[in-house]
Amino acid sequence: MTVDSSLVIRQAQILHPDGELRIGDVQIEDGKIQQIAPHLALPLNNSSREIDATGLILLPGVIDPQVHFREPGLEHKEDLFTASYACARGGVTSFLEMPNTRPLTTTQATLDDKLQRASKKCVVNYGFFIGATAEMLPDLLEANPVCGIKIFMGSMHGPLLVDEEPLLDKIFSQGSRLIAVHAENQERIRQRREQFAGIHDPAIHSQIQDNQAALEATQLALKLSKKYQRRLHILHMSTAEEAELMRHDKPAWVTCEVTPQHLLLNTSAYETIGTLAQMNPPLRSPYDNQVLWQALLDGVIDFIATDHAPHTLEEKAQEYPNSPSGMPGVETSLALMLTQAAQGRCTVAQVANWMSTAVAKAYRIPNKGAIAPGYDADLVLVDLNNYAPVRREDILSKCGWSPFEGWSLTGWAKVTIVGGQVVYENGKVNPQAHGQALRFDL
Ligand code: DOR
């Protein structure tokens, strides 16, 4: 596969910014959407490549705002090359990656290293968080480009854990960039780990790191955000209690996200897939699934992230609690959500908003998240006419498994386009494609 500088997509059902699907052609030049019309004249340009998209839906490419891609330092689980291939297959055209790599991303130098690696390896666009530590390095406020500050209030050992209120208060009080929190109360988790020590059934994970642990941390983050009117994002919200809190008390400068697994899986998954279902924050009850869904439909929860956190099958095969928490997600998230749309639980336009438009808005990523002239040509053509199962042998993530294996899904990406380049087509990734570093407006 080569990289084309101009491209025409013919007769796709285009999702327009007004939320309507209308059939038309899209012309792309130099990485940008040039024009959109019911029929563009032929031939447009001798060098144009044409894609016949009859019967397919064209959506803005997915922006996954929470992934853990493991490079540098943990490349036996995943690296930026395999992770970005997995993104391309999943229709994910941009990602925001977390700082718990080795070394931790807490300085300009470690950020620059990631950016450089990504520029060589990623076939999709990339952005990175900077991690907060108790040291309160000046880089936390100064390093660039970053999409925000990540605080692990719980579920993290080592220097990235910041769980004491005076320290958190200090971080919230300084600067103005977005703060994204992993909200679990570490002290409560510590006590409950002792209380439940010796139990090896992974289902105990959801009781140790219980709903109360998540709620208490979210309450604290919300309190500090209100004190300083500081932009706050609650990562992977998992409980009914947090959703209800946000329904009644969510300032305009606060956003929240949910993962497909917290919507679609619950504690019954431990019986079928054991430690593969173990993640932080843990899977919850069917009641939590239901309340989170309603909060998403009502706009209380703003968008969707996968928290793609791959571990090898060997690591996952260790007995609980030695088994690591986390599951992959970038390859299946769009198809999972579009399957929900196909089944009438939400609309295709809502899925595109939750997985692209609303993310670009919250993280202030210019020119992304919509199909309109002048926007970057980050696009995905999906097929909602056929169903195909999630199969282990198809997984491109280095970890080589999915918690959704065997699920029959529709809405799989047929063609993924990043900056006007076709990066995924006919089941294959184009190794010549390159992503770009994302920009974040202040
Ligand atoms: O389950 C999880 N695993 N949750 C996180 O937030 C991070 C993570 C990881 O990096 O493995």
307 a catalytic residue: yes
- Comparing C-alpha atoms, which of 172, 167, 166 is closest to residue 149? 172
**Rounded to the nearest whole angstrom, what is the distance from the C-alpha of residue 440 to the centroid of ligand 1?**
24
Q: 66, 67, 68: which to mutate for ligand 1, most atoms within 8 A of CB?
A: 68
**Rounded to the nearest whole angstrom, what is the distance from the C-alpha of residue 69 to the centroid of ligand 1?**
11
For atom 3 of ligand 1, the residue with the nearest CA is: 326
Q: What are phi and psi of 389, to 5 degrees?
A: -80, 155
- Comparing C-alpha atoms, which of 221, 223, 238 is closest to residue 66? 238
pTM (two decimals): 0.98
Query: What token pair was written down for 271?
Result: 């019986």
Q: What is the per-residue burial (b if ≥16 Cβ within 10 Å, else e) of 110-139? A: bbebbeebbeebbbbbbbbbbbbbeeebeb
Residue 21, strand partner residues? 15
Q: From the CB of 181, is ligand 1 less than 6 Å away?
A: no
- 25, 307, 378, 383: the catalytic one is 307
Q: From the CB of 325, is ligand 1 less than 6 Å away?
A: yes
- How confident is the prediction along the chain (442 residues), in pLDDT tens digits per residue? 566 669 999 999 999 999 999 999 999 999 999 999 999 986 666 678 999 999 999 999 999 999 999 999 999 999 999 999 999 999 999 999 999 999 999 999 999 999 999 999 999 999 999 999 999 889 999 999 999 999 999 988 899 999 999 999 999 999 999 999 999 999 999 999 999 999 999 999 999 999 999 999 999 999 999 999 999 999 999 999 999 999 999 999 999 999 999 999 999 999 999 999 999 999 999 999 999 999 999 999 999 999 999 999 999 999 999 999 999 999 999 999 999 999 999 999 999 999 999 999 999 999 999 999 999 999 999 999 999 999 999 999 999 999 999 999 999 999 999 999 999 999 999 999 999 999 999 7
**Rounded to the nearest whole angstrom, what is the distance from the C-alpha of residue 309 to the centroid of ligand 1?**
5
Alpha-carbon distance of 84 to 153, in angstroms, equals 28
The domains located in the chain, with CATH, are 61-362 (3.20.20.140)
Q: From the CB of 307, is ligand 1 less than 6 Å away?
A: yes
For atom 4 of ligand 1, the residue with the nearest CA is: 280
**Rounded to the nearest whole angstrom, what is the distance from the C-alpha of residue 279 to the centroid of ligand 1?**
6
Q: From the CB of 309, is ligand 1 less than 6 Å away?
A: yes
Alpha-carbon distance of 74 to 85, in angstroms, equals 17
Q: From the CB of 182, is ligand 1 less than 6 Å away?
A: yes
* Cβ neighbour number for residue 206 with a 10 Å cutoff: 23
Stated length of the chain: 442
Contacts of 283 (CB under 8 A, 6+ apart): 206, 238, 261, 262, 265, 266, 267, 269, 270, 277
**Rounded to the nearest whole angstrom, what is the distance from the C-alpha of residue 328 to the centroid of ligand 1?**
10
For atom 6 of ligand 1, the residue with the nearest CA is: 280
Q: From the CB of 100, is ligand 1 less than 6 Å away?
A: yes
**Rounded to the nearest whole angstrom, what is the distance from the C-alpha of residue 244 to the centroid of ligand 1?**
24
Q: Residue 94: enclosing H or E segment and its boundaries?
A: strand 92-97
Q: What is the per-residue burial (b if ≥16 Cβ within 10 Å, else e) of 239-265? A: bbbbbebbeeebeeebbbbbbbbbbbb
Alpha-carbon distance of 184 to 218, in angstroms, equals 7
Alpha-carbon distance of 56 to 53, in angstroms, equals 5
What's the distance, Cα to Cα, between the start and end of the chain in Å? 37
Q: From the CB of 88, is ligand 1 less than 6 Å away?
A: no
